[in-house]
Structure 1
């Protein structure tokens, strides 16, 4: 019996290791750029605003394509999509390494790495869900992968800062290419369990276009506020040499948000018509009738918005207000990294003792408290110790809820729906990341020009989103897949 169990554990490690490494590198890519903003801007003769857009477009590309990428796992197969995503991601990393200007960096990093992530991330969570029937075991390996995601996001500033200071920001992208090559070698041993249910007859192209375009409009709307303001346009918006929105009229953000809302409505009407006529659709409407999953998805969006936005604000503060180097910025964020690591290491034990709902609630409460401590203690001349308690609590809170919220959502649906819900889950997580950086950047600009104290204002706004996530977590039903996981047999 022990020998069989050891064999099972070895097989699980062969499956989970490449998946965790792939998730780590995708999350690392979303935060390592923050500490190298000044170096890249100088090297490529561009602006911090252009680099903010580049970072946002990376997570936006993932958000827009994650649902279509997940649907392709049902058509092409989970392992094939995972491998294809790694190849596209690696090509993007290589182009970003050799980038000669901001345009090449956007194509390599924002576009190709974003497309590669959209193909390889949904299979990660689907493969784990279908490979482990027991919720406790699934929680353990979700903990490994979610811990890798949090670790990648948290170590991005530290490792990226070290590579940028010791070698070059290009070394960070080259390192991603090498890790992807290693994952490709490990992934050859992955076994993909046959998909349950009927074969997928086709791909919903219009649904993919509508969902992606809606997300693009929503995120670009918030991005536009950095240049054109929130209420009225601070200058003319020109497209093709013609003024589309004149200065003093309603700001572009509201037109883009309206367009995004219209596209969302069109998407749902399209899906409903498709389901009634028996056609294949991008997402089944029944996914949105599960209250537990809906609230879990809301917590995922809030937690990634809070994390990515906060890391962006703190990194820009350290480099702009304190004139820190890339490595100094990464080192200052070490307590958050440590907090995520500690929480990830105890994910399985916490899942046995507490309900998943309780973990998400505790995670948001801890994160919000950490952010409040940063607002209370940190000043423009503060030392490391004033950052320590707030960043550590933020890291602990984020690490506690990353695994739990994923488990709440994925465990709410049978294997036949894992492709759809995995894509929706990861799409909203990346949408949260995009919105976090976009909103944080726009608030920084607005507060700088109007009220002063831009970093405090931006962090205060993000704390509000953490409290909103706490409210959503509190509303998760107690008698749901978020309940206590079964004890060890």
Structure 2
């Protein structure tokens, strides 16, 4: 371990130590900017792959003869394991160093992406997606840990966190656009595109990213048992909800899934309460800003987060768009997300993340209401575009502020786990949201069912705005 720590220290010294000599400037440049770009590319891969398959789903279903229930698992198989391994990933980063975990997770992500691109078997595809999710779950908190190593608390870290949040939002919405473009070639390309990007991240990450700084810190147990219980509980809950939508409550598979969730969730709670080293430290539950951010995140992902899935199905099933046209149909939303990120970056220092979250979610709710109102129109420009523009703007405003709130008051010894808790919430509720949407849409959804789901998602965005407005104290949330 001594030689390992020395190697890590030398790595940091050779890559970013010079940039750490503060000259009083809050700008990010030089090796710091390059390192942030590498971390952004890693995060972009993780978020991109959650949404990039949406537009490809009809093509995958047609090619592999899959039902809509099975298609859901191509999305949920990724999201479930992503969510399940985020907390373990945060603890692993705190224990072994964020740089090592980041590089190892990127390698796993690249290899599993290659496997997904080469298969024509549903089972193999879902397994590859699960491995991608594990890689992303380890990678995501490592990027946050490295951002916190690279940038000291203050305006420069706030700026870096805003960039980090913006990349995450752009990855989610940009995935739909890229998915449409790549599916026009072949659905396998939505997975293969990750391989060269992952390779570049590995090459530059080894040179630019800092090693572990706290070689003398007391090792913290990883507590894989809690991670196993948590992941299993999420998996069984989504399985139970999926079967509920397909075959009803009386089905054995539905009851087994829901009952199994209750058992494993209870085991997870008992394990966390009795463990000497819980996966989520007790002080994190008492960190108000983190808990509020997680609650807002749950509402966010049950509204704006599942919007991509809804709009993709609507454009292809109800308006007859091709995968390429559906992907291009999301381009205006991507532009407004970027514009919303810029707004947050300029205003958050003056007004704080509380106002940005509330205003962003309200704007998004209006956009979703417009989508509900436009479902009976055959015109993309009149029925879909206005809602996409507003919901995208709200997305871009709210997303970075939400993550900055979550990380603003984290205890120093639990940065990795605390920061990953909000992302865990995001992907847990993404899986749950998709399962609920399958129930609401039914097996052969029409425009009325799409209207209902858009109304429900709009209501969730408003609920998130209420939680942010009432849960956060204005003075404590101001960002200098």
Q: TM-score, normalised by structure 2?
A: 0.90
Farther-moved stretch of structure 1 (70-79 vs 343-352)? 343-352
| Matched position secondary structure for 2:320 | coil
Residue range with higher mean Cα deviation, 87-96 or 382-391: 382-391
Instruction: Work out whether 1:55 is the aligned partner of 2:75.
Output: yes
RMSD over aligned Cα, in angstroms?
2.3
Question: 2:139 maps to which residue?
Answer: 120
CA distance in structure 2 between the aligned counterparts of 1:475 and 1:266, rounded to whole angstroms: 32
Matches within 5 A, 1:19-418: 19-108=39-128, 110-165=129-184, 167-188=185-206, 189-195=208-214, 198-229=217-248, 232-233=249-250, 236-237=251-252, 252=255, 256-257=257-258, 259-274=260-275, 279-418=276-415
> How many residues in Structure 1 have an aligned counterpart in Structure 2?
459
- Normalised by the length of structure 1, the TM-score is 0.88
The alpha-carbon distance between structure 1 residues 2 and 261, as it changes in their structure 2 partners (threshold 3 A), is closer
Per the TM alignment, residue 4 of structure 1 is displaced from its structure 2 partner at its CA by 8.3
Q: Which residue of 1 aligns with 2:448?
A: 453
Cα deviation 1:258-279 (Å, max 9, x = unaligned): 54344334323322222xxxx3
Instruction: Give the CA deviation at 1:78.
Output: 0.5
CA–CA separation in structure 2 for the residues paired with 1:309 and 1:97: 24
SS of aligned partner of 1:404:
helix
Query: Structure 1 pair 271/49, CA: closer, same or farther in 2 (3 Å)?
Result: closer
Runs of 5+ in structure 2 lacking a partner? 1-20
Q: 1:380 to 1:283 in 2, by over 3 A?
A: same
Partner of 2:16: none
Change (3 A) 1:170 1:447: closer
Report the CA distance between 1:294 and its aligned residue: 0.8
1:352-395 deviation line (CA, Å, top 9, x unaligned): 22111111111110110110111123325223233222111111
Deviations 1:442-478 (A, max 9, x none): 2111784xx9711111112222221221121112232
Q: 1:76 to 1:10 in 2, by over 3 A?
A: same
| Counterpart contact for 2:26–2:155, Cα < 8 Å | no
Hey, what's the Cα distance between the residues in 2 that align with 1:470 and 1:6?
31
**Is the contact made by 1:196 and 1:415 (CA closer than 8 Å) also made in structure 2?**
no
The residue aligned with 1:242 is none
Provide, for residues 108-160 of structure 1, a one-character-per-residue CA deviation record: whole Å limited to 9, x for no partner.
1x211101101111111122123322332222111212111111111112111
Between the aligned partners of 2:262 and 2:457, the Cα distance in structure 1 is 23
